[in-house]
Amino acid sequence: MNKEFHEKDIEIRKELEELIENGKKNISEIEKIIENNDFRINDLNDPNSKSAVNLRIVRNFVIGTILFLPITYILLTYVKGFNEVLFYFLLIFYSLLIGLIFWFIRKKYRLLYGLIELSVGVTAIFIVLQSVNNSLDIFYWKIEKLMSFVGGVYILVRGIDNISVTNFGKKVDDFLNFK
């Protein structure tokens, strides 16, 4: 009995060692995929590389958006008190402008856009769950909360879809065998 136990122990150890080796190979393959495809980490040291220029564009967009928010808030607050119709037209204009900016990000930086969608979807779901006091009994939720939750899930799915069409997403699909 001791001999059988010892043989099974050796067999299990060999299987574990094989699993660990396969895991190390998979991790190194994923690291190569990340470095060679969407992230281009090594190119960021060269200020003239396409990756560094793209990163600067995204950085400038974020900084510009943050700086533009107070001006927008002041303008919309002033206009709302002055003329309500003009306020709504400006709000629609700014919404369209923000939509076009995000469309540009989606077109040029699909992986980044997908990651933004994932974070927005998770945040939306988190906000809904906090507002219903973490009650998972959805039959007693108001329709607004239920639709907000469904919207958050939809945003998550869109984020995953946008990530899956990038080189990185295709490699992850291949790795997880979602063909």
Q: Give the pLDDT confidence of 101-125 residue by residue, as tens digits.
A: 888 888 888 888 888 888 889 998 8
Domain that holds residue 160: 108-178
The pLDDT value given to residue 179:
55
Residue 162 inside a domain? The answer is: yes
Q: Looking at the whole model, is its pTM more than 0.85?
A: no
Residue 159 inside a domain? The answer is: yes
pLDDT tens, the chain, 179 aa long: 577 767 776 777 777 677 677 777 767 776 666 666 554 445 555 556 665 566 666 677 667 767 777 777 777 677 666 677 777 777 788 888 888 888 888 888 888 888 888 888 999 888 888 887 766 676 777 888 888 889 999 999 998 888 888 887 777 777 777 65
Instruction: Print burial letters for 91-102: b (CB count within 10 Å at least 16), e (below 16).
Output: eeeeeeeeeeee
The pLDDT value given to residue 155:
92
The total domain count for the chain is 1
Residue 114 inside a domain? The answer is: yes
- Note whether 163 and 114 are within 8 A (CB): yes
Residue 148 inside a domain? The answer is: yes
Residue 11 inside a domain? The answer is: no
How far from 40 is each of 37, 45, 46, 150, 170, CA to CA, in Å? 6, 10, 11, 35, 16
Cβ count within 10 A of residue 29: 13
Residue 134 inside a domain? The answer is: yes
Residue 61 inside a domain? The answer is: no
The pLDDT value given to residue 102:
82
Residue 81 inside a domain? The answer is: no
Q: How far apart are CA 95 and CA 140, in angstroms?
A: 33
